[in-house]
A and B are shown apart, each in its own frame.
Chain A
Amino acid sequence: MKKQNRRDFLKSSISIAGAATATNLLLPKNTKASPENILSNDRFGVLVDTTVCIGCRKCEWACKTAHNLPAGDASDYDDKKVLSKRRRPSPGGYTVVNQYQTNQIPTNVKFQCMHCDHPACVSACIVGAFSKTEYGAVVWDETKCIGCRYCMVACPFQIPTFDFDKAIEPNISKCDFCIDRLKVGKIPACVEICPVETLTFGPRKDLIEVARKKIKNFPDRYINRIFGEAEVGGTSWLYLASSQFEKLDFPKLGKNPAPGVSETIQHGIFAYFIPPIALYALLGGIMWVNKKSENEDEE
């Protein structure tokens, strides 16, 4: 490789510095093209009162019907043996009800996407295919997704699923809060069908008040904790229960938003591109000094 001389080096350095400044000016604007993460004050939520649920699994049926998945007949869901299996949301059904033998009367728990306020999937997705909408829903955009499954790695609730058996157009599927129904003023299909109103739909802040009141009025019935109020920075779906949530298969989670540490690191490394440019300048400087001493030696 040919060695360049010092004058060339200087000349190119200046042009590089110029280009770097230009990118510096341009890029922060572009990074705002990151996915939406709207935390509307009126965002919706659902309060799940697990002490009420009877495990009729009609929500599973309604969910599949609403999302045009093969749902079968409603009476297919009468089989209660399924409840004792530890099922998880799948590409064929975005919500499941599992049963836990907690007290004399078993507790049924519906699982689906929690629709975090600070979703790990939104933060993680390489192309920003996930976004948190003003309705509170965390939704996936088919047109952007590249199927890298990083959302599945990131999700603290292990919710997104992937069509592992599809060679072409595999989807990431999860509960979308029935966003299409919300947009036309309807409520999610599972909430609509629930016979006992285990699922209460409304503005999240109202639901927290309702939940607090319930805990206050029936201290024997509920433990004093609303799951999702603070977990991973808060979720749109909130849960009440009569026994410890860990016994009901809820993960142990802190109060910090799931993407928190990762984003802090990311933004630290890329704070207005200063660290990379500084590193570039430093390396350039070292190189220049070394070249200079070499040239002096030659002279």
Chain B
Amino acid sequence: MKKLLILLLISVSIYAQHQQNSIKYNCNLCHECENPTKLNPCLKSCPRDEVITVYHSAEKAPDIIKIDLVKSEKDIYQAVNFTHKLHAEMSNMAGGCVICHHYNPVGKVVACRECHENQRKREVLDKPDLKGAYHRQCLMCHKTWKKQDDCNFCHLQNNVKSSAAKQKNKKNVHPKIETPKKILFKSNGYKNTLVTFYHNDHTQTFGLECKSCHNSDACAKCHNQNVVQVKNSSKKMDKHQVCSSCHDVKTNCQECHKSKEAKRFNHFAKTGFELKNYHSKLECSKCHRNGKSYSGLKKECSNCHSAWQPDFKHKKVGLVLSEEHSELACEDCHNLKTMKVDCSNCHEENFYPKHLPGKKVK
């Protein structure tokens, strides 16, 4: 039995070894030269940027992290309570978690201290120590803001009382962001120079999230109060890039570039099809499905609603059908082309909309 076990073990290990040999490693990932030796491994320095592979949403991220690992000979400041979640959320507009978690291969989130030694006197000098790494990471953005590279912006001095400290720690919610209603861009290249951009319509009416447009902004774009005006991405292409996900920026210039200030977009005024209830909540592309063109859709419901789902919940349109109506097929009441309701199929008089077949909800 013993012998058998040993034999098994050996065979397994040989197999494992065999397996290992067959795995192809990319030597260049870690070594700089072609033939690394034990004496001269010519290792690459720790790669600074490696795309994060596990994405945790900002909401799931830890809320506040107390940074108290770094100890100095004389500690002037108290440990910093880092509002991680707040920063994570805001980072969505500036490139995401990777702007701080710059190195994270497959697996769990790598902590700073795993690469950055918590020791200033050390052997490997080509990456900053933990204290330096923390500060540099924060200052990468904070440095560009007015006055916010002051130590006191994040730190509390050691001699400050704890009540004041609590006060400071309250600031873990981002104050409400004031968004512009309307921005008037002036372009030089095109004969019609004015582009009116209704910011709130895009965020509210068209349901765009902040990060769907603002995904690689510098923090300083908002946080920089009047010091260094970081140049707006003034290149024609950059600006168009943001709009191009919805608008046709190649051919239909007049759509945005006008000779005078444009009015707010009004679906009813423009097309005669009023967006209300359920439709108002839809993203444009839910209906305007064929590519970039937003024209050509007819007002008839059947354009979209060709095949009804059997489990369609009528509640969605703002009317919960009463029990006796809920069992009916759609076409029993609706004209499938126009969706007009005709009660006369069952009822003698035209009840609708005087008597509703159910209850209105919001």
Contacts and interface: CB of A to CB of B under 8 A. Distances in A.
A221 to B, nearest CB: 12
Interface string B96-137: 000000000000000000000000110001101101110110
Leading 8 A-B pairs by shortest Cβ distance: A197-B132, A195-B135, A196-B135, A197-B128, A74-B76, A104-B228, A202-B125, A54-B149
A175 to B, nearest CB: 18
Interface in A44-93: 47, 52, 54-56, 58, 62, 65, 74-75, 78, 80
Contact of B120 (A47, A105, A192, A206): A192
B136 A207 contact: no
B160 to A, nearest CB: 10
Interface hub of B132, B152, B230 (most chain A Cβ within 10 A): B132
Interface in A223-242: none
Contacts of B125: 47, 200, 202, 206-207, 210
Contacts of B199: none
20 contacts: A52-B136, A58-B151, A65-B74, A78-B151, A80-B150, A192-B72, A192-B120, A194-B132, A195-B132, A196-B135, A197-B128, A197-B131, A197-B136, A201-B120, A201-B121, A206-B125, A207-B125, A210-B125, A213-B45, A214-B126
Interface of A: 47, 52, 54-56, 58, 62, 65, 74-75, 78, 80, 104-105, 185-187, 191-197, 200-202, 206-207, 209-210, 213-214
B144 to A, nearest CB: 7
A186 to B, nearest CB: 8
A209 B132 CA distance: 19
B128 A195 contact: no
B143 interface: yes
Interface of B: 45, 72-74, 76, 120-121, 125-126, 128-129, 131-133, 135-136, 139, 143-144, 149-152, 157, 228, 230
A191 B128 CA distance: 12
A75 B150 CA distance: 10
Nearest to B231: A104
A187 B73 CA distance: 11
A133 B136 CA distance: 33
Contact of B139 (A54, A192, A200): A54
A180 B282 CA distance: 72
B131 A195 contact: yes
Nearest to A197: B132
Contacts of B228: 104-105
Contacts of A200: 125, 128
Contacts of B129: 197
Interface hub of A55, A192, A195, A206 (most chain B Cβ within 10 A): A195
Given A54-B143, A62-B74, A78-B150, 16 more contacts: A52-B136, A54-B135, A58-B151, A75-B157, A78-B151, A185-B121, A186-B121, A187-B121, A193-B74, A195-B135, A196-B139, A197-B131, A197-B133, A210-B125, A210-B126, A213-B126
Contacts of A187: 120-121
A187 B150 CA distance: 25
A197 to B, nearest CB: 3
A96 B230 CA distance: 29
A253 to B, nearest CB: 26
Contacts of A206: 125
Nearest to A206: B125
Given A75-B157, A213-B45, A193 B72 contact: yes
A272 B13 CA distance: 76
A136 to B, nearest CB: 15
Contacts of A104: 228, 230
Contacts of A202: 125
Given A202-B125, A210-B126, A192 B73 contact: yes
Contacts of B133: 197
Contacts of B121: 185-187, 201
Contacts of B151: 56, 58, 78, 195
A186 B72 CA distance: 12
